Amino acid sequence: MKKIRLLGDPVLRKKTKEVEIIDDNVKAFIKELFETMYQYDGVGLAAPQVGVSLRIFVMDDGTPRAFINPKIIYASPEKVVDEEGCLSIPGVFENVERSKEVIVRYIDENGQEREEKFIDRSARIVQHEYDHLEGRLFIDLLPAERRFALREKLLDIMRQSKAKSSRV
């Protein structure tokens, strides 16, 4: 199991690098991502959240999947607002607007290229994890007044993150 990086860790704000080859190391890393996600009761987890700046995320919306070098090739203009949280921002849950439906092209852990359509909750998970690969967090999508209202809570998480990294 890997440690979850918290808000304030610079790796969460970096755009990730493409995976060049899918070897045993990548497969082992994907297995660790799943283990970590389940350990923390998450439904998705992106590589940057465990300190690795690669374009990989995993999710389990009832069907566990690994996404390598994903690309959202369609996002519906129809939006839906629903609550989101993030393992890297513990204790913060806010309503976020996302596309109701997305189509993603990605490579699975067996090296197979796939294209898949996701709707509603599954689409939300995909978009949330994809944002991590772009260095974006769900709080970035909140209106300024909500971010301001959360300021103290977010600063506390950042202080925890800094304390954790200084102990390493």
- Residues forming the active site: 129
Residues tagged in the binding site annotation for Fe cation: 86, 128, 132
**Is 77 buried (19+), middle (13-18) or exposed (0-12) by CB count in 10 A?**
exposed
In eight-state DSSP terms, residue 18 is P
What are the Cα distances from residue 91, in Å, to 7, 46, 47, 55? 12, 18, 21, 26
Q: Which long-range contacts (CB under 8 A, 24 or more apart) does 107-113 make?
A: 107/19, 107/22, 107/67, 107/68, 107/69, 108/65, 108/66, 108/67, 108/68, 109/22, 109/26, 109/27, 109/30, 109/66, 109/68, 110/22, 111/22
